[in-house]
C-alpha cells in the first residue's frame, strides 16, 4: 500500500480535570496541557508499525484545528509520520463537518487505509470515522484491537460488547483504534530534531469549500452533580450488615 492517513485531534490531555465556566457557557481550556487524543496516538503507532513492516510506504498525519495543533503534528512527525497536513480552523467542529473535511483530504491523497481514534476524549462523540467511511462509501472497522493487512483486504478484530468480533474489509477502508491495539512508542530527542525538517502543509479551511457551520446548538454547559461521599466502614461485619440493611445482600 502506498499511503496511510492518520487523523489526529488536539485535545486537553487526559490527565487534566476539566472545569465548567462559572457562567455555564463552556469549559475552561485556557492554559491547559494539550496532547494528541490518546486513541489517535495509538492509530498513528499502528500506521508506523505497518510502514516498518513494509506494508505501507508513507504515513501522513492530518489534523483539523487551530494553528497550535501544529505542536501535536510535530509530535506525530517526531514519532515517525512522514509528513503532516493541518486544516486550519479556529471554531469547534461537529464530527460530520470533520468527516467532510477529511473526505476532501482523502480524495486528494487517495490512501489505502485511513486510521482514526475511536473517540476524541473531549467531545466523546465516537462518530468521525464511521461518518467518513459512509461519505467515502468505503468499509469501516471500528474499535480495532488487532489489524492485519493481506494484499487488498484487512482483517480486523473489534472490541464489541459481546467480546471480540473479527471482520474482513476490502481496502481502502477506515479503521478506528481501541486502546488495546498497541502501546505507542516514546519520542526520542534526536527524532524531535529530525522532525523539524519535515513539512507541515497548512490548508486554510476556506480553501476546501466545506460548510462547517454547526447544526446543533449547545445551549448550556454544567458540572454533573457529584455523588455524595459516603462513609468508611471499619470491618467486614460492618460492611456486610450495611449491605443487608440496604437490601443488597441476603
Ligand X SMILES: Cc1cc2nc3c(=O)[nH]c(=O)nc-3n(C[C@H](O)[C@H](O)[C@H](O)COP(=O)(O)OP(=O)(O)OC[C@H]3O[C@@H](n4cnc5c(N)ncnc54)[C@H](O)[C@@H]3O)c2cc1C
> Is-cis flag, bond preceding 21, omega within 30?
no
Does residue 82 contact residue 25 with C-beta atoms inside 8 Å?
no
Residue 43 C-beta: closest distance to ligand AMP, Å? 6
Closest CB to ligand AMP among residues 14, 241: 14
First to last CA, the chain: 61
Q: How far apart are CA 116 and CA 111, in angstroms?
A: 13
Q: How far apart are CA 210 and CA 147, in angstroms?
A: 32
Residue 14 C-beta: closest distance to ligand AMP, Å? 12
Q: How far apart are CA 31 and CA 47, in angstroms?
A: 31
Sole window of 49-57, 72-80, 113-121, 184-192 interacting with another protein (rule: CB under 8 A): 113-121
Exposed, middle or buried, 177 (CB in 10 Å: 0-12/13-18/19+)?
Answer: buried
Question: With binding defined as CB under 8 A, does residue 135 bind another protein?
Answer: yes
DSSP string, 14-42: TTSPPEE-TTSS-EE-TT--EEE-HHHHH
Residue 166 C-beta: closest distance to another protein, Å? 4
Cell, residue 87: 486544516
Q: Which does 37 bind (CB under 5 to 8 A by kind): another protein, ligand X, ligand AMP, none?
A: ligand AMP
Q: What residues numbered 19-38 form the site for ligand X, per CB under 6 A?
A: 38
Sole window of 103-111, 112-120, 192-200, 212-220 interacting with ligand AMP (rule: CB under 6 A): 112-120
Sole window of 4-12, 138-146, 203-211, 242-250 interacting with ligand AMP (rule: CB under 6 A): 4-12
Question: With binding defined as CB under 6 A, does residue 121 bind ligand X?
Answer: yes
* Three-state DSSP class for residue 128: helix
Does residue 179 contact residue 39 with C-beta atoms inside 8 Å?
yes
Residue 40 C-beta: closest distance to ligand AMP, Å? 4
Closest to 56 (Cα-Cα) out of 6, 110, 3 = 3
- Contact residue for ligand AMP among 127, 140, 142, 182 (CB under 6 A): 127
Question: With binding defined as CB under 6 A, does residue 73 bind ligand AMP?
Answer: no
Q: What is the contact surface with ligand X in residues (CB under 6 A)?
A: 14, 38, 121
Q: What is the contact surface with ligand AMP in residues (CB under 6 A)?
A: 7-9, 37, 39-40, 63-65, 93, 95, 98, 116-117, 119-120, 123, 125-129
Amino acid at each position: 500500500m502506498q499511503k496511510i492517513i492518520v487523523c489526529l485531534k488536539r485535545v486537553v490531555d487526559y490527565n487534566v480535570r476539566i472545569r465548567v465556566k462559572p457562567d455555564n457557557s463552556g469549559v475552561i481550556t485556557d492554559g491547559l496541557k494539550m496532547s494528541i487524543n490518546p486513541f489517535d496516538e495509538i492509530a498513528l503507532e499502528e500506521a508506523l508499525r505497518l510502514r516498518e513492516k513494509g506494508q505501507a510506504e508513507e504515513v501522513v498525519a492530518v489534523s483539523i484545528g487551530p494553528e497550535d495543533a501544529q505542536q501535536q503534528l510535530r509530535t506525530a512527525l517526531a514519532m515517525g509520520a512522514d509528513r503532516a497536513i493541518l486544516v486550519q480552523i479556529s471554531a469547534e467542529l461537529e464530527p460530520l463537518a470533520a468527516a467532510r473535511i477529511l473526505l476532501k483530504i482523502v480524495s486528494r491523497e487517495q490512501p489505502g487505509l485511513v486510521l482514526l481514534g475511536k473517540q476524541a476524549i473531549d467531545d466523546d462523540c465516537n462518530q468521525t470515522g464511521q461518518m467518513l467511511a459512509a461519505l467515502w462509501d468505503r468499509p469501516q472497522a471500528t474499535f480495532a484491537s488487532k489489524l492485519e493487512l493481506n494484499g487488498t483486504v484487512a482483517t480486523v478484530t473489534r472490541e464489541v460488547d459481546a467480546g471480540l468480533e473479527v471482520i474482513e474489509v476490502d481496502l481502502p477502508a477506515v479503521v478506528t483504534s481501541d486502546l488495546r491495539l498497541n502501546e505507542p512508542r516514546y519520542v526520542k530527542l534526536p527524532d524531535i530534531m529530525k522532525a523539524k525538517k519535515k513539512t507541515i502543509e497548512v490548508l486554510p479551511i476556506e480553501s476546501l469549500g466545506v460548510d462547517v457551520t454547526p447544526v446543533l446548538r449547545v445551549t448550556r454547559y454544567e458540572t454533573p452533580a457529584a455523588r455524595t461521599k459516603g462513609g468508611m466502614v471499619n470491618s467486614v461485619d460492618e460492611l456486610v450488615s450495611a449491605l443487608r440493611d440496604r437490601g443488597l445482600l441476603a
